[in-house]
């Protein structure tokens, strides 16, 4: 699965994209965020305020309870500030 | 039509292209968002817009399609820039065309409110105090919420007044 990071989430995580094999018990966006916190200092810092981080599953806005099975691309980012 | 680009846009040329050869349009509304310099210690030197290529185009197209479902629009355009911009530069252009002005005004406002709270762009400002990611504003979510369709509610029984 491909993971993408944008804005300050990207800066704190220290990378903009990666390919990962997820543990079998990670099945929702919320579980994926909880897993990210366990991946070392950078990820713990990036996902420290997980409640403010938004996610997109296959380029569509997702909720914490959104299922991620079969997704090919999941992105994490702060609330958007365009316009 | 939607476009995501680093280059500047010419508002007059964009509107002209949209209306060219058409005589069915009665009202054209355009909104342009530009980089505000600010003042004092918060004054900007530049602003960099990051976005999510792929999702950005999908979100803008989805928002535009929704505007066409809600209002009788004959044409519309969203252009959003990314990259590093200077104070005074153009950021975003929304143009809506309809037979009558109300639909054009409302759809343009709707497009901007939706775009600000769902298109995946992030602004980073650079000033004297170094780079700073712009925080989202609750007022933007509130602006979007005013377009929410009311949920269907059971009709209240008419009150019967015993005494007129």
Q: Where residue B104 sits, what CATH number does that domain have?
A: 3.90.1170.40
Q: What percent of chain A has pLDDT over 90?
A: 100
In a domain, B79, yes or no: yes
Judged against a pLDDT cut of 70, whether residue B156 lies above it is answered with no
- Is residue B88 included in any domain, yes or no? yes
A34-71 pLDDT, tens per residue?
999 999 999 999 999 999 999 999 999 999 999 999 99
Out of B58, B117, B133, closest to residue A7 by CB: B133
pLDDT higher than 60, residue B157: no
Chain A residues touching residue B33 (CB < 8 angstroms):
83
In a domain, B60, yes or no: yes
DSSP B52: -
Encoded tokens for B1: 């039509």
pLDDT at B61: 98
C-alpha B103 chain-centroid distance: 15
| Whether B55 and A56 lie within 8 Å, measured CB to CB | yes
Give me the mean pLDDT over the B45-62 stretch: 98
B34 in any annotated domain: yes
Which residue range is the domain that position B66 belongs to? 2-131
Q: Do B121 and A59 touch (CB under 8 A)?
A: no
Query: With an 8 Å Cβ cutoff, are B122 and A7 in contact?
Result: yes
| pLDDT, position B164 | 43
In a domain, B45, yes or no: yes
Average pLDDT, chain B: 91
Say if B84 falls within a structural domain. Answer: yes
Is B139 within a domain? no
CATH T-level fold of A2-77: Ubiquitin-like (UB roll) (3.10.20)
Q: A72: which chain B residues are within 8 Å (Cβ-Cβ)?
A: none
Number of folded domains that form chain B:
1
> In chain A, positions 7-46, which contact chain B (CB-CB < 8 Å)?
7-8
Report the distance separating Cα A46 and Cα A9, nearest Å: 5
pLDDT recorded at residue B39: 87
- Check if the beta carbon of residue B98 is closer than 8 Å to that of residue B74: yes
Lookup result for tokens 């009150």: B159
Among candidate residues B159, B135, B141, B132, the one with its CA nearest the CA of residue B42: B132
The domain segmentation of chain A, as residue ranges, is 2-77
Domain-located, residue B160: no
């Amino acid at each position: 699965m491909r993971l993408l990071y944008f804005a300050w989430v990207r800066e704190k995580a220290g990378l903009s994209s990666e390919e990962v094999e997820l543990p079998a018990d990670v099945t929702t966006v919320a579980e994926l965020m909880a897993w990210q916190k366990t991946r070392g200092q950078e990820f713990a810092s990036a996902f420290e305020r997980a409640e403010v981080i938004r996610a997109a599953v296959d380029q569509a806005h997702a909720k914490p309870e959104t299922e991620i099975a079969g997704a090919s691309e999941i992105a994490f980012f702060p609330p958007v500030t365009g316009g | 039509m939607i476009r995501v680009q680093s280059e500047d846009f010419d508002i007059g040329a964009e509107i002209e292209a949209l209306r060219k050869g058409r005589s069915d349009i009665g009202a054209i509304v355009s909104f342009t968002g530009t980089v505000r310099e600010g003042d004092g210690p918060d004054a900007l030197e530049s602003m960099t817009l990051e976005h999510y290529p792929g999702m950005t185009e999908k979100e803008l197209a989805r928002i535009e399609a929704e505007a066409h479902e809600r209002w009788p629009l004959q044409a519309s355009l969203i252009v959003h820039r990314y990259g590093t911009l200077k104070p005074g530069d153009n950021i975003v252009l929304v143009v809506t065309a309809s037979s009558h002005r109300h639909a054009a005004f409302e759809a343009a406002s709707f497009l901007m409110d939706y775009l600000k709270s769902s298109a995946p762009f992030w602004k980073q400002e650079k000033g004297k105090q170094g780079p700073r990611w712009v925080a989202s504003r609750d007022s933007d979510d509130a602006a979007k919420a005013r377009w929410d369709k009311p949920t269907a509610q059971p009709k209240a029984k008419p009150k019967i007044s015993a005494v007129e």
